[in-house]
Structure 1
Amino acid sequence: MNPSGAAAASAPADISHIKKLPILVSLIVGAFFSILNETLLNIAFPELMVELKVSASTLQWLATGYMLVVGVLVPASALLVQWFTTRQMFLGAMIIFTVGTFVCAFAPGFEFLLIGRLLQAAGSGLMLPVMMNTILILYPPEKRGAAMGSIGLVIMFAPAIGPTLSGLILDSFEWRWLFYLVLPFAIISIIIAFVYLKNVSQPTKPKVDVLSIILSTIGFGGIVYGFSSLGEGGAGWSHPKVYWTIIVGAVALLLFVIRQLRLKDPLMDIRSFKFPAFTLTAIMLIIMMMTLFSSMSLLPFLFQGALGMTVFASGLLMLPGSLLNGLISPITGKLFDKFGPRALIIPGTAALVIIMWFFTQVSVETSKVTLLILHICMMISISMIMMPAQTNGMNQLPARYYPHGTAILNTLQQVAGAIGVAFFISVMSNGQASFLKGSSDPTAPGQMAEAMVAGVHNAFVIGFGFSIVALILALFFKRTKGPAES
């Protein structure tokens, strides 16, 4: 064991007399509403453009800025959870998020709305790592699947239901109600956490390496911003804002990794990757997050651009799959505890391959019922893969790596989501443009619908290839028997 590495981790507190359920509930309630906001506002963009009198490229900062702050903060969470107690981290994150929600609700203009969104993002960026690290400390490996399944309920369900819920709210109320309705739940979460949340670790306050924080901020922030900028204001892969920020981010990230391997107390311990199960999990989660976020972005284009559905109707079509995805996550967690990862991940990836193939066959004649069934099956298969894989990978890590492993996986998910959305929408747009170039009447509604289907088809073909890679990776999963101290 590396003594300096051990010192870098939060020391476990005496948790023998702590009631776990109230802590789990308080964490889930707070995290649900903070993560929900990642997708809650996007559907209101057309209304906001008119009311706030800003362009689409300016308004896009409400989404890009949110992802950027989360992408920057999550890597630093490995350090923060070692400097502050569980209560301090969670309550601090929820208070920041609540203040941001209040600012958004009463924002007099775009500038204040952007500030509120960035504050919300700061709270959300700290929330998930705190929640996962707490679960890893509270529950032993043999009981961790069910608890992590409850987290899956939040991670998968909250962002997926966001567009549907916001569509329902905006159907009757103005955009400010998206924040009015969240505000009381955020306050209730703070009260519940203040009463029931106990400290499960003691801060060890390792040395802070300022250069690592700077490199991490530039690296992850540059990559997330670069990919998020694709399509913003007509920016493409050849736009300097896109490729230069990605290049600078990649160089900073490389320097960050090199520095972490040389430090005694790294900000994010890259040595977590020496554990095979964790490395396999990280690769699988990258593929799954790209598939999930790209599908969530592509399907609305298909529903609205090709099939002529309204925003609210397309949200409703995606609601059953989102609901089942969240509800099944705790069940798959319990099945993981009983049968291990292979019994869930291999069938889940095999089903995903079949489903993605069916998505490549979609046309303008495809019925809404078929699309509904495909989406439901896809979300169920993803729920069979995501949390079981993540739990299995984290189970192999020694306790001192928990903050680092949590930060690594959450950072990779955030970056993979940003890359997935940008990449697949770019493929869709190129396919759409290519179809219209060969069209005799590119402005005809029927041709535009066919072009949208062609673009989505190209994107799903690549998604089908990713799903095959996921199935191959699934064959290498083995149940981890517990932390391997090394």
Structure 2
Amino acid sequence: MTQQVIVKNPKMYAFVLMISGFMGLFSETALNMALTDIMQDFQVPAATVQWLTTGYLLVMACLVPASSYLIKWFNTKSLVITGILLSLAGVLIGAVAPNFGVLLFGRIIQALGTGMLLPIMMTVLMFIFPVEKRGAIMGIMGLVITAGPALGPTLSGIIISALSWHFIFWISAMLYIVVLILAFWRVENVGEITRPKIDIISIFLSTIAFAGLVFALSTMAEAAVTNVIVWLPLAIGIVSLVTFIIRQFKLESPMLNLNVFKYPMFVLGAVMVFVTILCVLSTGILLPLYLKGALLYSAVIAGLILLPGNAVNLVLSPVIGSLFDRFGARYFGIIGFFCILVAAIIFAVIISASTPVWAIILTFMILFAGISLVMMPAQTNALNQLPRALYADGSATITTLIQVGGSASTALSITLYTASMNMFMKGHAHTTNEVAIAHSVQYVFYFIIGLAMIGLICACFVKKPKAI
């Protein structure tokens, strides 16, 4: 049995980390509803304003793989406080930004803080809670990971309609200040500082690899794969990633210990987490487009329509976490992906320009029930497979997959949506815009059906790992 690290108040420690993580993930999508307002305020085009989201994802994708070095070189309390301070500085810069350049700079600073906090959160929770109690706490962490980006557009839409986009940053700043005070009070040092040799080449390769992949995937949503702005960074990213992987196996002290992939249950869990993130964020992009473009609801109403699904996630995640400690991950994965599959099939059948809103709400609730059943059990079961020495590497690997999955879901969903829209308009030149949008969103749900089937197959092979 893996030895637990004893801290004075593990629940408060977990609370500090989770609120910090939630704020960072919330910020990934929080500005999506404000992009048109920012375009008007700073007189920038759509292609430029998208960098507020793309740049945030890029910085996180570059920093997260290197986080396994950070936790081996610096004490935990310093890293947590530094991450919160960077996040706080970033949102304060964003709140008072006089122009777009300063706003983008603030987003980059906040992304640095979030990129530090997320893998630390996952690693520390593995240290301070014993295996038999991890389920409940990791259930709440699963809620943080899924609810943060899912609630971003909803909550920010309400804030923007009542106040202005600046208050997204001001409200975030107030929360970060509270969390910072708690961090000084409750965060303790855990883990062992080993100070392995830092391989600059590995840092360079991972930065180029994940920056190239995330940039290409994000750009793919607006440009064809044959466009040099897509295929060149994609090719550079893939080559750099392959070189990075080969190098890790040759180093005595690798930057990211890829031996985590020698554990079958870790691999299965990582794949299931990646597929789940694709389903979550693809749906999170598609349904607001559909509700606003086809059913003609306002941004606030569209956000409120999606709230019951997020409420299901809020209620179920801690419950599933507690039950996980008793029943393990396999059954949750099978039932969860079955729910996702059923919801995706229903969406693919019922979506039209006149679908009743109650059907959308109920189906979205089924989808999020499935996501709640999958996310935490898959992730916890994967990390439980690893020995303590690999916790930081396993956490960094899964967090990186989540970030790449976030970019991939945006790119793939919008690419399929746009392609379907173009094909439909060619064959139906006189159709209304609402009908075309509904058809295109409906088409992309066939992609989500395929993802759910892949996840369901993976879930059938999950086993509870032996204690290490």
2: CA distance, partners of 1:108 / 1:462: 42
1: CA distance, partners of 2:267 / 2:293: 39
Q: Give yes or no for the alignment of 1:88 onto 2:88.
A: no
Kept in 1, the 8 Å contact 2:150–2:281? The answer is: no
Offset of residue 397 of structure 1: 0.3
Kept in 2, the 8 Å contact 1:287–1:466? The answer is: yes
Tell me what 1:129 maps to.
119
2: CA distance, partners of 1:34 / 1:192: 17
2: CA distance, partners of 1:448 / 1:388: 41
1: CA distance, partners of 2:221 / 2:282: 14
Taking only aligned residues, the RMSD between alpha carbons, in angstroms, comes to 1.4
Instruction: Give ranges in structure 2 of 5+ residues lacking alignment.
Output: none
**Count of paired positions:** 466
2: CA distance, partners of 1:440 / 1:223: 36
2: CA distance, partners of 1:224 / 1:29: 25
Letter in 2 for 1:417: G
Offset of residue 264 of structure 1: 1.1
Tell me what 2:213 maps to.
223
Offset of residue 161 of structure 1: 1.2
Name the % identity.
Answer: 36
Tell me what 1:294 maps to.
282
TM-score (norm 2): 0.97
Offset of residue 15 of structure 1: 3.5
Q: Give yes or no for the alignment of 1:46 onto 2:20.
A: no
Tell me what 1:468 maps to.
453
Tell me what 2:436 maps to.
451
Aligned residue for 1:181, secondary structure, equals helix
Tell me what 1:356 maps to.
344
When residues 268 and 356 of structure 1 are mapped into structure 2, their CA distance, relative to the original with a 3 A threshold, is same
Letter in 2 for 1:368: V
Offset of residue 34 of structure 1: 2.2
Q: Give yes or no for the alignment of 1:332 onto 2:320.
A: yes
Tell me what 1:59 maps to.
49
Kept in 2, the 8 Å contact 1:216–1:253? The answer is: yes
Kept in 1, the 8 Å contact 2:71–2:193? The answer is: yes
Alignment equivalent of 2:241, drawn from 249, 253, 256? 253
Aligned residue for 2:255, secondary structure, equals coil
Letter in 2 for 1:423: L
Q: Give yes or no for the alignment of 1:283 onto 2:271.
A: yes
After superposition, the C-alpha distances for 1:83-119 in whole angstroms (9 at most, x for unaligned) are 1111011101000000011100111100100000001
Kept in 1, the 8 Å contact 2:339–2:369? The answer is: no
Q: Give yes or no for the alignment of 1:201 onto 2:191.
A: yes
Offset of residue 17 of structure 1: 5.3
Kept in 1, the 8 Å contact 2:6–2:128? The answer is: no
Alignment equivalent of 2:139, drawn from 137, 145, 149? 149
Aligned residue for 1:247, secondary structure, equals helix
Alignment equivalent of 1:418, drawn from 407, 429, 434? 407
Letter in 1 for 2:16: S
Aligned residue for 1:201, secondary structure, equals coil
2: CA distance, partners of 1:68 / 1:475: 34
Q: Give yes or no for the alignment of 1:177 onto 2:167.
A: yes
Tell me what 1:371 maps to.
360
Letter in 1 for 2:363: L
1: CA distance, partners of 2:109 / 2:205: 22
Aligned residue for 1:225, secondary structure, equals helix
Instruction: Give ranges in structure 1 of 5+ residues lacking alignment.
Output: 1-10
After superposition, the C-alpha distances for 1:10-31 in whole angstroms (9 at most, x for unaligned) are x99x933532112112212222
1: CA distance, partners of 2:277 / 2:119: 17
After superposition, the C-alpha distances for 1:377-423 in whole angstroms (9 at most, x for unaligned) are 10111010011001001101000110100001110111112112101
Q: Give yes or no for the alignment of 1:112 onto 2:134.
A: no
TM-score (norm 1): 0.94
Offset of residue 343 of structure 1: 2.6
Kept in 1, the 8 Å contact 2:276–2:371? The answer is: yes
After superposition, the C-alpha distances for 1:247-303 in whole angstroms (9 at most, x for unaligned) are 100000000000001111111111110000001111111211111111101111111
Tell me what 2:391 maps to.
402
Aligned residue for 1:360, secondary structure, equals helix
Tell me what 1:237 maps to.
225
Kept in 1, the 8 Å contact 2:7–2:188? The answer is: no
Q: Give yes or no for the alignment of 1:434 onto 2:423.
A: yes
1: CA distance, partners of 2:389 / 2:311: 35
Tell me what 2:301 maps to.
313
1: CA distance, partners of 2:84 / 2:7: 25
Letter in 1 for 2:170: Y
